[in-house]
Amino acid sequence: MTTTHQATAVTAEQIAEIAGDVWTSFLSMDLAPDGSEPLTGPTLTGCVHISGDWDGSVFVQCAADHARLAAEAMFAADPGTLSPDEVSDALGELTNMVGGNIKSLLPAPSKLSVPSVAGGDSYTLRIPGATRVEAVTLRSPGGPVHISIWKV
Amino acid sequence: MKILIVDDSRAMRMIVTRTLRQAGFGDHEFLEAENGAEGLALVDSADPDLVLSDWNMPEVNGIEFLQALRSKGSAVRFGFVTSESTDAMRTLAAEAGALFLIAKPFTADTFVTALGSVLAV
Task: Please write the tens of the pLDDT for every residue from B62-119.
Answer: 999 999 999 999 999 999 999 988 889 999 999 999 999 999 999 999 999 999 888 8
State pLDDT tens for residues A56-76: 999 999 999 999 999 999 999
CA distance linking residue B38 with residue A53, whole number of Å: 31
State pLDDT tens for residues A25-41: 999 999 988 766 778 88
Q: Do the Cβ atoms of A26 and B107 come within 8 Å?
A: no
Q: B51 to chain A nearest CA, in Å?
A: 20
The complex's ipTM works out to 0.90
Which residue ranges of chain A lie beneath pLDDT 50? Answer: 1-6
Sign, CA dihedral A135-A120-A93-B70, equals: positive
Beta bridge partners of B80: B53, B101
Residue of A82, A104, A113 to mutate, testing the B interface (most B Cβ within 10 Å of its Cβ): A104
Which element (helix H / strand E) includes B6? Answer: strand B2-6
| Residue A124 CB partners (closer than 8 Å, separation 6+) | none
